[in-house]
């Protein structure tokens, strides 16, 4: 079945994985915005980073659900 999966599934799975990695990285490295962009939008409170982490996690969950639907569609089409 792996050979029959459309490119759409792999793109969705890749984006879900990247979003999850981004969420975890943001939770671990809390000052990345200040370090990378040399600005301090939240005055070192970390609220912007938490917002980004939750948004990335939500995106990962949504895209993973869409990828799962694509997987199930392929599985039912091959059965």
- CA 52, chain centre distance (Å): 11
| Cβ partners under 8 Å of residue 15, min gap 6 | 59, 63
Q: How many CA atoms lie within 13 A of 4 on its CB side?
A: 11
Q: Which mean pLDDT values do the consecutive 10-residue runs of the chain (79 residues) have?
A: 76 88 82 79 80 87 90 80
Predicted confidence at residue 2, as pLDDT, reads 58
Predicted confidence at residue 56, as pLDDT, reads 85
Burial letters 2-29, b for 16+ CB under 10 A, else e? eeebeeebeebbebbeebbebbeebeee
């Amino acid at each position: 079945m792996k050979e029959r999966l459309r490119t759409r599934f792999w793109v969705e799975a890749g984006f879900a994985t990247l979003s999850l990695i981004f969420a975890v990285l943001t939770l671990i490295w809390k000052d990345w915005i200040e370090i990378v962009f040399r600005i301090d939008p939240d005055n070192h409170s970390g609220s912007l980073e938490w917002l980004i982490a939750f948004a990335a996690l939500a995106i990962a969950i949504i895209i993973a659900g869409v990828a799962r639907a694509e997987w199930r569609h392929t599985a039912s089409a091959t059965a």
